[in-house]
A and B are shown apart, each in its own frame.
Chain A
Amino acid sequence: MTNADSQRVQRNLTALIEFSRIINTSLDLNFTLNNLLFSCFGKFLTTKGFVALYSGDELNIAASKGLPHDFPDKLPDVTDTATRVSNGISSFLKDHHFEITEVIESSRKKLGIIALGEKINKAPYSDEEKEFLKIILNLAATSIENSQFIEELKVLNRQLDGRLNSLSSLFELSKEFSALVDEGRISKLLIYSLLGNFMMSGYAVIYCDDRRLRILESTYPKAVLMSTIEGRSAVSINRIMQGREIFDIFPGLESFAVSLCIPMQVQGESRGYMVLGPRINKSDYSEKDREFIYSVGGLAINALENKRLFKEALEKQKMEEELQIAKEIQKNLLPKFLPQIPEIEFAADSIPSKQIGGDYYDILQTGDSLYTVAVGDVSGKGVPAALLMANLQAFLKVTAKQNLPIEEATGLINNLITENTSDGRFITFFWLILDADEKNLQYVNAGHNPPLFIRNGKISHLDKGGIIFGVAPTMIPYIAEDVSLQKDDLIVLFTDGVTEAKNPDDDEYSDERFESLILRHASSGADEIMKVIKDDLREFVKATPQSDDITVVILKVR
């Protein structure tokens, strides 16, 4: 080897070591490629060149120097699998005065090519220079591959960041949703979270509680939206829908920009859904995006449902407390003991319905041998009915002691009741004043179910009187009727809860059944008849819950 030769080899080696050292200090792909080009330029004294790397099957220019502005970004189609560059690209490179091209290849795969222009002295590339290029490309290949790994890792990392962000969003929302009590706030938060994640151009949140559709949030005109979604239950929106599928179900949405329709489900059942417009940055909703939206929607709907159930439970509890109060009032209004006298046998009972129907009865002693017997039915239920019932009792007690003629007293009570009701409530009322010594009675019926009067196996109805209480002040006087009593006369006062009691088939107990039962047992004592009535009613209704109180008062002349 000549001295000059060994010097050249020495120089080459130094250049290689220098190059290797530099490109391995950085994982930045651009830095590596730039260095590769500069090293080649310096070594071969050339002024233009580029590196193109494979992305899939496509070769794209990744770094270049000294290329004319009009040089295409894309290289002609290169599908060669050979190590040598294909003919197609060779002629393209020749045309653009690239003197030499070489494949860049790692031990695992082909990475791309490098192409270099003519040397400045127009001399061809020597074999030794070609060999040098191969060595330098070998060194570069490792570095390029490493940089590409890093790029891929960065992409993966970013995807991971995205997933992490989604997860922390879900976590944060689930915490926040459960703390929110206000429906409006829940739907707002849902929208903010979706806006923050997806920047959709339009949206609507539809919630279905108690089979009623409501639009909680919407950027679309609400009236148009409502007319579009009306008549389709939320339950039928049971899967994520995109594009055309949405318009097949909601043709009206076609006029809006809508890309997604995602159900909001509680335990697999849709209780609402979200309609979302396209994203402002024009990118599509990925499958992960759709899953995320579905999850967030699930969180929101669960929160909404929980609030609703909680509210319902509260209202139910409140109602039950109220009913308990009404029950107490009613219980305290009814007489605890019935008069025990030789002339007349009394029996009375009232079975309150669950909602407290407002039945009232009373048996008062209002003179030495005078007894007042009354039955009333206040319209409405619950506490308001019970309070009006209490008023009625108070008025009755006061009036009964005035010893007024019964028709006049009735008019007075009606006036008092009318003054004390404002919300359309009324009372049907029947009362009688009985003189046990004289064996006669006087009654007035103010619109109540006519009590049955049974003598010698025949029923007549005590229906004389006038208008129900509470509708208008007394203009037309009530009419009273006198009835003189005989031994074994039977009088049965009752409320419509008896004759309108329902069986499991929703049939009514009926006046006919009641009257025929009474006739069959008219000869029995008052307590016995009461027992028979209750037994027959029980047999008829079975376990059917009754919507009205059931009240019966029986007088039997001894």
Chain B
Amino acid sequence: MAEFNAGITETGNVQVIELSGFLDAHTAPRLENTFNELLTRQQYRVVVNFRNLKYISSAGLGVFMAFIETMRGNGGDIKLTEMQPNVYNIFDLLGFPLLYEIFPTQQEGIQKFNQSSEK
């Protein structure tokens, strides 16, 4: 079946999750594990890079919903970056841009965290 991968890299005090492949009902639990790992490490500032994500289904979107409140509740956030048009279309269709900050580049997402921490 379709490959999916979610790798974490640390950039300053921001955790970057890089997604690749297909994020659907089948692979959603793997992303869930990734977020749970961040929670265990008490890391709440997350930038997700969608550059290599080919497909996302609503179950995949649900994982972001499941964790956003915890992240924000702990002073962090999940910022979404570098989406392919087809992936963005799904996010847009389901109204995510209202709730999430979405940036064209990973760098902008990270900067947003750093700006708000300077204030």
Contact = CB atoms under 8 A, between A and B. Distances in A.
Contacts of B89: 161
Interface in B96-111: 96, 98-99
Contacts of A185: 29
Which of B26, B65, B90, B98 is most buried by chain A, counting CB atoms within 10 A of its CB?
A: B65
B70 to A, nearest CB: 12
B29 A196 contact: no
B94 A172 contact: no
A169 interface: yes
Interface string B1-38: 00000000000000000000000111011001000000
A325 interface: no
Contact of B59 (A158, A162, A193, A280): A193
A192 B93 contact: no
A107 interface: no
A191 B66 contact: yes
B62 interface: yes
Nearest to A185: B29
B24 A196 contact: no
Which of A168, A175, A189 is most buried by chain B, counting CB atoms within 10 A of its CB?
A: A189
A188 interface: yes
B99 A165 contact: no
A283 interface: yes
Contacts, number: 77
Contacts of B26: 172, 176, 179
A192 B24 contact: no
Contacts of A172: 24-26, 57, 59
Interface string A435-474: 0000000000000000000000000000000000000000
A281 interface: yes
Interface in A180-210: 185, 188-189, 191-197, 199
A173 interface: yes
A155 to B, nearest CB: 13
B59 to A, nearest CB: 4
A45 to B, nearest CB: 43
A179 B98 CA distance: 34
Given A192-B63, A280-B99, A165 B29 contact: no
Contact of A193 (B32, B62, B95, B98): B62
Which of B60, B61, B62, B95 is most buried by chain A, counting CB atoms within 10 A of its CB?
A: B62
Contact of A189 (B59, B64, B94, B98): B59
Q: How large is the interface on A (under 10, 10 to 19, 20 to 34, 35 or more residues)?
A: 20 to 34
A192 B65 CA distance: 8
A398 B28 CA distance: 65
A165 B32 CA distance: 22
Contact of A192 (B28, B95, B98, B99): B28
Contacts of B64: 196
Nearest to A161: B93
Interface in B48-66: 57-66
B95 A158 contact: no
Interface string B52-94: 0000011111111110000000000000000000000110011
A197 B94 contact: yes
Contact of A196 (B32, B57, B98): B57
A196 B68 CA distance: 12
Interface of B: 24-26, 28-29, 32, 57-66, 89-90, 93-96, 98-99
7 contacts: A176-B26, A195-B62, A195-B63, A196-B59, A196-B60, A197-B58, A281-B95
Given A185-B29, A199-B65, 15 more contacts: A162-B93, A165-B58, A169-B58, A172-B57, A173-B25, A176-B59, A188-B29, A189-B25, A192-B63, A192-B65, A192-B66, A193-B25, A197-B61, A199-B94, A283-B95
